[in-house]
Structure 1
């Protein structure tokens, strides 16, 4: 492409130079014809005795040939004997003598020989200044000596100032400069377009490389419509990025699978090693409450408080073990048609005492007709309960609102569940980590609650997302297929 632009530039410059050479040749021919026509007019006037003023028609032909400005006949004494300019012709005095205009008294351009005769020693009349040979192109008038029996008059042909050789050369130089600048401007614009066309995809590739290096495998370089090498490179880069993204997803799935195996083994060990002692401790506490309660009312109250607290801690440990087991075990779902509004109200009913004591307003709302879904009721109930617990804990007992909103989308093929609270919200840097196992911002949390919710939703081939703003609240959005996934039906 650049070679083509260079060839085009040279061709344009060659055309400009060729045109200038042809113009110069034509001008020199026309100028020579005009000079010869003017000389012939002057010689004819001398030989015929006619005045130039009487030969206006022939003078006009010479003038049209190359814009001859004037023809002057000067004698050896420098007197203008005849001229096309009426201000220079001889004037008749009262005594019948003639008063001549001197050639030195008029503004005469520099002279040059009309036919290139070799110089002789005969001096020219005063006022007829010949230009040096090295400046012959600047001559604006040409003289031709005529030998007669009455002396040696001179025929001077004065050209228009715009038709001197130097003026024409200056005009052509300006034109050539303008043409050259125009060609350079066009070539510069074309080069800029070519460079921009090639540099833009390179910049896009550079930006994409930085994005991919930062872990963003979803970025794609635009420019698939290009059919050149850059288009092929862009397509290969996008294909490479897509494969890297798939590889990263497979690595994440493998990592999660390995982690799930570890958690499963850990959960089994915990269930085996801890639950049996916990059951014994729980039974012992029940036996203590029924058989060894003190008779003193004050001591009995203290005894009941302590045993209740111990049983609560045992139950909390047992719940953590259950969370481990639920997260690590493969899903065993029993799908059936579910009324999500009834399920949501049942989940909120568990927390009626807590919400009334803390001043939290709990609501279930539906938007339009919400179809039933085919899902496991226990799994979804656990997921909603975890999200409600998460919202209540975020309000720290200071009052607020927690609500479950139900609606349909995708023309009734999916159901949307929004669980919203007005708690303290989630920091922006923690949003991407809330569903990771064992990640928690609470001092007493295990970090499995939201991970279990996400697993339950994905087991139903649904999706869950979160939007939150610190200090304003959080909204978890679940979408589920109405018909239920094929994997559920087969379990």
Structure 2
């Protein structure tokens, strides 16, 4: 319901409550007034009856009149007198007035009170002043005298005062109800507005994770929905700008890296040719040194060839890889990684351990590319432990799932949840060294083999990288 409709409904409800309350109160007041007038009329009639009987009878009615006045004064009858035609008071509820004379002309006939002073408006019946009622007593064609009744309508005045007090009380209660509803509405609607203001301050400070629940269908709910939609669009805009910036950055880094890769190939070719020349023409002739020299040169030649292979893969990163598949042992693959990294790991006080399952079946894959994957994982693990630690390489086979699992676990600082989804993006890195292609290339190599790269990391405890590779012929089952 809209806010203006709620306000109108509340105002109309208050008006209806006030009208109904005043109407009911007025009905009760009218009933009380009518009952009081009926009782007063009944008492007046009874007084007239007793007075007429006293005037027309020879019996003594003074005692009866006095007994009646004891109760009649509570009903507003102040005095009852019987007056002769000559104006002499024959009998009265006030014995001191018996025998005195009254001017009937001044009293008048019927119900009469003194006139109000000029310039002031008085009600028709002023219950605070006494009223004189003079009734002639006529029997047949003969007038025997008059009955004078002095009325004091205090009960009617009390009813009027009570009625006024009740109306004032009802008006006050309705007014207080309106104040309570106003305070409730003010708090009910200003609280979410204040919360939205706080949310707007947070958004303006750069916190785009702030949202406000839209729980109502009025203007406040519409405001909250629009606010959430605005924040959502701001997040999308920020993400788009961030991706655009990253794309520009990646483009520049890619151009630089491609140029560096081209430049690296030239010295690699020269080193390869120089090693061939050393092997063929400059190896010492003594048997002791010849074998050692040839082994050392073969290792240099192998590493040069591997680096050149990596450069070629890097330069063709956007193109499909060409896999050179062959059968290989996972255990031998892991052990062959150690010689190339042994010196570097010892320098960083990092130990390398192996957990290889026995009787592993052979894996069909590209050995050079898998070796590149392991080199990348070990390099990342070593960079996460600058103070030293332990790296554990493992290999296992799940006979039920028919999957190979090659793992690399470290005791480094771990990966934050914010970076977990980005670590395999090209050129993304949190380290000062490197350009952020190691894990991107690793994931691509594993994907080309029909497998996947899994990462499990806890900040402050380390990371576990797993290469999940299918058994030959099961590539489509992962």
| TM-score, reference length from structure 1 | 0.58
* Aligned pairs (5 A) from 1:318-337: 322-329=309-316, 330-334=319-323
Structure 1 residues 394 and 243 mapped into 2: Cα distance closer, same or farther (>3 Å)? closer
In structure 2, distance between residues paired with 1:315 and 1:392? 23
Report if the CA contact (8 A) 1:333-1:376 is conserved.
no
Q: Which residue of 2 aligns with 1:277?
A: 270
Comparing 235-244 and 456-465, the one that deviates more: 235-244
Structure 1 residues 377 and 321 mapped into 2: Cα distance closer, same or farther (>3 Å)? closer
Q: Which residue of 2 aligns with 1:128?
A: none
Q: After superposition, what is the alpha-carbon deviation per residue over 1:442-483, rounded to whole angstroms, capped at 9, x for unaligned?
A: 66x56543343244345557355462534x433335567885
Q: Which residue of 2 aligns with 1:384?
A: 374
Structure 1 residues 137 and 155 mapped into 2: Cα distance closer, same or farther (>3 Å)? closer
Q: After superposition, what is the alpha-carbon deviation per residue over 1:111-140, rounded to whole angstroms, capped at 9, x for unaligned?
A: xxxx9845159xxxxxxxxxxx88979987
Report if the CA contact (8 A) 1:465-1:478 is conserved.
no
Q: Which residue of 1 aligns with 2:141?
A: none
Q: After superposition, what is the alpha-carbon deviation per residue over 1:356-384, rounded to whole angstroms, capped at 9, x for unaligned?
A: 97683624378xxx999997565344323
Q: Which residue of 1 aligns with 2:22?
A: 20
Q: Which residue of 1 aligns with 2:333?
A: 346
Report if the CA contact (8 A) 1:9-1:187 is conserved.
no
Q: Which residue of 2 aligns with 1:74?
A: 79
Aligned length: 415
CA RMSD of aligned residues (A): 6.2
Structure 1 residues 269 and 480 mapped into 2: Cα distance closer, same or farther (>3 Å)? same
Which structure has the larger Rg over C-alpha atoms? Answer: 2
1:144 aligns with 2:131: yes
Q: Which residue of 2 aligns with 1:362?
A: 353
Report if the CA contact (8 A) 1:402-1:419 is conserved.
yes
Q: Which residue of 2 aligns with 1:262?
A: 255
* Aligned pairs (5 A) from 1:432-471: 435=424, 437=427, 439=429, 441=431, 448-457=437-446, 459=448, 460=450, 462-465=452-455, 467-470=457-460
Displacement after TM superposition at 1:41 (Å): 0.5
* Aligned pairs (5 A) from 1:174-193: 174-186=169-181, 189=184
1:155 aligns with 2:156: no
Q: After superposition, what is the alpha-carbon deviation per residue over 1:86-129, rounded to whole angstroms, capped at 9, x for unaligned?
A: xxxx9xxxxxxx899xxxxxxxxxxxxxx9845159xxxxxxxx
In structure 2, distance between residues paired with 1:453 and 1:226? 52
- 1:382 counterpart SS class: helix
Report if the CA contact (8 A) 1:344-1:364 is conserved.
no
1:3 aligns with 2:4: yes
1:476 aligns with 2:465: yes
Unpaired segments ≥5 residues, structure 1: 63-67, 83-89, 91-97, 101-114, 122-132
Structure 1 residues 238 and 425 mapped into 2: Cα distance closer, same or farther (>3 Å)? closer
Q: Which residue of 1 aligns with 2:409?
A: 420
Q: Which residue of 1 aligns with 2:114?
A: 119
